[in-house]
Amino acid sequence: MLGYAVRRLLWAIPTLIFVSFIAFVIIQLPPGDFVTAYAAQLRSGGEYITELQEELMRQQYGLNDPILVQYWRWISNIIFYGDFGRSLEWNAPVSDLIWDRLGLTLAISTLSMIFTWMIAIPVGVYSATRQYSVFDYVFTVFGFLGKGIPDFLLALVLMWMTFVWLNMDVGGLVSPEFQGKPWDFDKFVNMLSHIWIPLVVLATGGAAGLIRVMRANMLDELRKPYVETAYAQGFSERTVVWRYPVRVALNPFISTVGWALPALFSGDVITAVVLNLPTTGPLLLQALKMQDMYLAGSFILILSVFTVIGTVLSDILLALSDPRIRFS
Amino acid sequence: MTDLQKLSPTFHTPRVPPLAPKEEFRDESLYTAKPWTLVWWRFRKHKLAVVSLIFMIILSTLAIFAHFFTPYAPFTINRLNTFAPPSTVRILHDGELHRPFVYPMKRTRDPETARVIYEEDTSKPLPIQFFVQGEAYRFFGLVETRLRLFGIDDRRQQINLLGTDSLGRDLYSRLIHGARVTLSAGLVGVAFAFVLGLTLGAISGYYGGRIDSAIQRLMEFIRSIPTIPLWMGLAAALPIAWDPIFVYVLITLILSLIGWTHLARVVRGRFLSLKTEDYVLAARLAGASEYRIVTRHMLPAMTSYIIAALTLAVPEMILGETALSFLGLGLRPPVVSWGVLLQDAQNLRSISMAPWLLAPGMAVVLVVLAFNFIGDGLRDAADPYGQ
């Protein structure tokens, strides 16, 4: 088991290197560089620097070096010093800006993943054991709708509905009157009245697909002889279903945790923009629009790293739950 | 079958032995039917897929002949008709049947909030005219014409089936024109993904070994990047000043850079399972070249699977384009796409004032569902010899 885990972890290293390289390329993609952007920023403020100064700055920052050298400087600063570069727009180190936002993104993604599972597993099991019942059809329709409705549209519609019917503005993480105040019970309750929308939005998208997966897996398992044997031994339906086929049917679930993460992060980014949540989404969008590339690149890098870690974790979890994988 | 035959069962029984099961006729035609006929028969059984297919055909026709089917040009601004609610098409006037008509809208302002309100003036119906002379357009850029399917004959009033936006542009016209861009972006993106996915999937499945595992790693890697942030990053790198058409092509390319993995997986799986089939071995023994084996013997056996996978990939592209344009990183005005149209519905204020601005979102949902259903039906029908 340990050997498998170690091998899996080692495999993640080339992926991580590749991911970081892609993030760096994205930073470099737009025409111009840091100095051009900086000069433009100064010009808009009424100051200017000469071309010689620009050239000196380029040399100072090493922007004339080959791309691999620059990449190494960037990544080694991150790894050894935790220095992600400076955000042009905010004029502050990137690491000061991103961590609490990333934390909230991670919290919302994890919560909605748990929420997704809480919906998808029981519903999938129910749909499979009561195939072609009324509720099976209802859940099927729900599944298709959940897949078809874009996250941001669902967020918009939910926000609009709560506004029209409950007369509540649920945008943001807390209502404006609580903004910037220290956390207390009232603020927490207020946050609960806001946080459910992103959770519902993200969970419906994910649950829609997982219900189908769970149902299909369960249907496969339920037809196998061991299930019949268990029934023949006189166990109740509940015991048979939950003790045996569900455990096997959960395998693909665990292995898709890793893929659920990128989907959740993507969903979170775009939902947060609509709902104006203080997560990575709005800041990333802003950074990309302003070509604040160190900030944007760091976001993309860290989100991708989270995803790679998630995939590794889910693979190890899978090996823990299914001995066949460990030994093959 | 004619009605007469349906009504009297005795009419056709003499021609069949009385005890022969009805299935036999079908069986016989089943044996002689061509593969694509069989696929079509299977597909037909999936009712939702058939309905979706009809819906998509209608929508595509509307989009292709957008100028003809819409009453106004997508960019015509009408300052006295901003945020007008959708007009209701009625057929009852004063309790009497009337040809389809709309009531003219009276524009007033709320005395307290100074907000524009529209009221229907129920005294005089405005009949909807068909094949009217509207704003001029060039039919496929060739012939200049003014012919439009419907409209109303009034200089002040408009027929706005889905209301108007903040500049008084007719949302229905814009929606149909946007369908052109959005649907074709999905198709073009899938075409790029098709080329990439087919090539890499085929190489991976056919040769196996080290090349296979390298391509597998690459696919795993691409799937492990959060798509929206990556798309956003790539899309943001496109300079704003570029030609909209060029940006459009690049956006579809960006979308397909990620979308091809699903297709490649399907192709690879099929190649792996077909490689060991007897007829492939026979072709190889007969001295066929690799190219011939792949294109003549293996690809035809998986066309239906590929089509199904392609259909299921279209909604992803459409959702991607919509999301990017909605965020302002994809297509930009003056290009009209559904994502661009949804930019108007970005905040609570405009939605609560003009809920009809969400109509493009509704259209996205319907199209995505339709493609999913068609894809499901095709996937079930892909192997007509299965059962």
Report chain A's C-alpha Rg in angstroms. Answer: 25
* Listed residues A61, A94, A127: the one ending a domain: A94
Within 8 A of A15 by CB-CB distance, chain B residues are 220-221, 224
Mutation for A interface: B225, B340, B349, B352, most A CBs within 10 A:
B225
Chain A nearest CA to B131, separation (Å): 36
Same domain, yes or no, for B209 and B285? Answer: yes
In this structure, is residue B237 part of a structural domain? yes
Per residue in A151-189, pLDDT (tens digit) is: 888 888 888 888 888 777 777 777 777 777 777 777 788
* Listed residues B162, B192, B214: the one ending a domain: B162
Cis-peptide into B334, omega within 30 deg:
yes
In this structure, is residue B151 part of a structural domain? yes
Crossing angle of helices B244-275/B227-236, nearest 10°?
140
For residues A138 and A144, what is the distance between their CA atoms, to the nearest angstrom? 10
Same domain, yes or no, for A32 and A174? Answer: no
Q: Residue B113's pLDDT is what?
A: 78
Compute the count of residue pairs across chains A and B with CB atoms less than 8 Å apart: 130
Within 8 A of A267 by CB-CB distance, chain B residues are 228
Question: Has residue A246 got a pLDDT over 90?
Answer: no
Chain B nearest CA to A173, separation (Å): 15
> Residue A212: phi, psi to the nearest 5?
-65, -45
Tokens 């969970």 identify what position?
Answer: A203
Same domain, yes or no, for A79 and A116? Answer: no
DSSP letters, A251-264, are HHHHHTHHHHHHHH
* Listed residues A74, A94, A114: the one ending a domain: A94
For residues A161 and A169, what is the distance between their CA atoms, to the nearest angstrom? 10
Closest listed residue to residue A63, CA positions, set A96, A36, A94, A90: A36
Tokens 């439009």 identify what position?
Answer: B148
Residue B3 banded pLDDT, cuts 50, 70, 90: very low
Same domain, yes or no, for A141 and A289? Answer: yes
* Listed residues B113, B129, B162: the one ending a domain: B162
For residues A5 and B239, what is the distance between their CA atoms, to the nearest angstrom? 44
Same domain, yes or no, for A78 and A178? Answer: no
Q: Which of A150-154, A322-326, B299-303, B325-329 has the lowest mean pLDDT?
A: A322-326
Same domain, yes or no, for B244 and B374? Answer: yes
Closest listed residue to residue B228, CA positions, set A270, A305, A280: A270
Give 3-state DSSP helix, strand, coil % of chain A, rounded to 5: 80, 0, 20
In this structure, is residue A112 part of a structural domain? yes
- Classified as helix, coil or strand, A44 is helix
Same domain, yes or no, for B114 and B181? Answer: no
Residue type, B304: S
For residues B62 and B43, what is the distance between their CA atoms, to the nearest angstrom? 24
Same domain, yes or no, for B238 and B130? Answer: no
* Listed residues A33, A60, A94: the one ending a domain: A94
Q: Residue B6's pLDDT is what?
A: 46
For the record, the structure tokens of B290 come out as 């690799």
Other beta carbons within 10 Å of B244: 13
In this structure, is residue A7 part of a structural domain? no
Overall number of domains in chain B: 2
What residue in A sits closest to B237 (Cα-Cα)?
A: A30
In this structure, is residue B7 part of a structural domain? no
CA–centroid distance for B13 within its chain: 46
Question: B118: number of CA atoms within 13 Å, CB side?
Answer: 21
Same domain, yes or no, for A195 and A290? Answer: yes
Residue B4 banded pLDDT, cuts 50, 70, 90: very low
Same domain, yes or no, for B199 and B100? Answer: no
Same domain, yes or no, for A73 and A138? Answer: no
Residue type, A162: T
DSSP code of B294?
A: I
In this structure, is residue A9 part of a structural domain? no
B214 vs A41, residue with greater confidence: B214
Chain B nearest CA to A238, separation (Å): 32
Residue type, B190: V
Beta partners for B117? Answer: B108
Give 3-state DSSP helix, strand, coil % of chain B, rounded to 5: 60, 10, 25
> Residue B126: phi, psi to the nearest 5?
-110, 100
Crossing angle of helices B171-207/B209-223, nearest 10°?
150
Same domain, yes or no, for B203 and B271? Answer: yes
Residue B113 domain boundaries: 84-162
Closest listed residue to residue B252, CA positions, set B204, B305, B182: B182
B179 vs A291, residue with greater confidence: B179
Percentage of chain A modeled with pLDDT above 90: 0
For residues B168 and B80, what is the distance between their CA atoms, to the nearest angstrom? 7
Report chain B's C-alpha Rg in angstroms. Answer: 27
Beta partners for B101? Answer: B90, B127
For the record, the structure tokens of B211 come out as 């090349």
Crossing angle of helices A280-289/A94-129, nearest 10°?
130
Same domain, yes or no, for B232 and B306? Answer: yes
Residue type, B286: A
In this structure, is residue A307 part of a structural domain? yes
Crossing angle of helices A257-275/B303-327, nearest 10°?
30
Residue A64 domain boundaries: 20-94
CA–centroid distance for B41 within its chain: 23
For residues B139 and B148, what is the distance between their CA atoms, to the nearest angstrom? 11
Q: What is the pTM of this model?
A: 0.81
Same domain, yes or no, for A71 and A170? Answer: no
Mutation for B interface: A102, A157, A202, A266, most B CBs within 10 A:
A266
In this structure, is residue B30 part of a structural domain? no
Same domain, yes or no, for B329 and B196? Answer: yes
DSSP letters, A19-82, are HHHHHHHHHH-SSS-HHHHHHHHHHHTT----HHHHHHHHHHHTTTS-HHHHHHHHHHIIIII-
Question: Has residue B10 got a pLDDT over 50?
Answer: no
DSSP code of B204?
A: H
**Residues B365/B50, Cβ–Cβ less than 8 Å:** no
What residue in A sits closest to B354 (Cα-Cα)?
A: A160
DSSP code of B90?
A: E
Per residue in A19-69, pLDDT (tens digit) is: 888 888 877 776 666 677 677 777 777 777 777 887 887 777 667 777 788
B7 vs A114, residue with greater confidence: A114
What residue in A sits closest to B226 (Cα-Cα)?
A: A262
For the record, the structure tokens of A216 come out as 């299909």
Same domain, yes or no, for A84 and A181? Answer: no
Instruction: Tell me the CATH number at B354.
Output: 1.10.3720.10
For the record, the structure tokens of A117 come out as 């599972």
Question: Has residue B232 got a pLDDT over 80?
Answer: no
**Residues A294/A84, Cβ–Cβ less than 8 Å:** yes
Same domain, yes or no, for B191 and B263? Answer: yes
Within 8 A of A300 by CB-CB distance, chain B residues are 229-230, 233
Same domain, yes or no, for A131 and A270? Answer: yes
Nearest to A288 among B329, B361, B373 (CB): B329
In this structure, is residue B61 part of a structural domain? no
In this structure, is residue A272 part of a structural domain? yes
A30:B237 CB<8 A:
yes
Cis-peptide into B125, omega within 30 deg:
no
Residues 6+ apart with CB under 8 A from A30: A291, A293, B236, B237, B239
In this structure, is residue B71 part of a structural domain? no
In this structure, is residue A283 part of a structural domain? yes
What residue in B sits closest to A167 (Cα-Cα)?
A: B352
Same domain, yes or no, for A82 and A130? Answer: no
Same domain, yes or no, for B150 and B177? Answer: no
Per residue in B66-122, pLDDT (tens digit) is: 888 888 888 878 777 778 888 878 888 777 788 888 888 888 887 887 777 888 777
For residues A39 and A58, what is the distance between their CA atoms, to the nearest angstrom? 11
Same domain, yes or no, for A292 and A263? Answer: yes
* Listed residues B104, B138, B162: the one ending a domain: B162
What residue in B sits closest to A300 (Cα-Cα)?
A: B229
Within 8 A of A312 by CB-CB distance, chain B residues are none
In this structure, is residue A13 part of a structural domain? no
Per residue in B129-167, pLDDT (tens digit) is: 888 787 778 777 777 887 888 887 777 777 888 888 888
Within 8 A of B374 by CB-CB distance, chain A residues are none
Closest listed residue to residue B169, CA positions, set B77, B276, B49: B77
For the record, the structure tokens of B309 come out as 């996978």
In this structure, is residue B260 part of a structural domain? yes
B residues 233-272 near A, CB within 8 Å? 233-237, 239
Instruction: Tell me the CATH number at A292.
Output: 1.10.3720.10
Handedness of CA B107, B112, B114, B117 (dihedral sign): negative
Q: Give the mean model confidence (pLDDT) for residues A243-268.
A: 76
In this structure, is residue B6 part of a structural domain? no
For the record, the structure tokens of B224 come out as 């492990």
Same domain, yes or no, for B250 and B331? Answer: yes
Question: Has residue B65 got a pLDDT over 90?
Answer: no
Strands, DSSP E only, in chain B? 90-93, 96-102, 105-109, 116-120, 126-139, 143-152
Overall number of domains in chain A: 2
Q: Residue A327's pLDDT is what?
A: 66
**Residues A295/A287, Cβ–Cβ less than 8 Å:** yes
Closest listed residue to residue A293, CA positions, set B300, B332, B232: B232
Same domain, yes or no, for A221 and A259? Answer: yes
Same domain, yes or no, for B241 and B357? Answer: yes
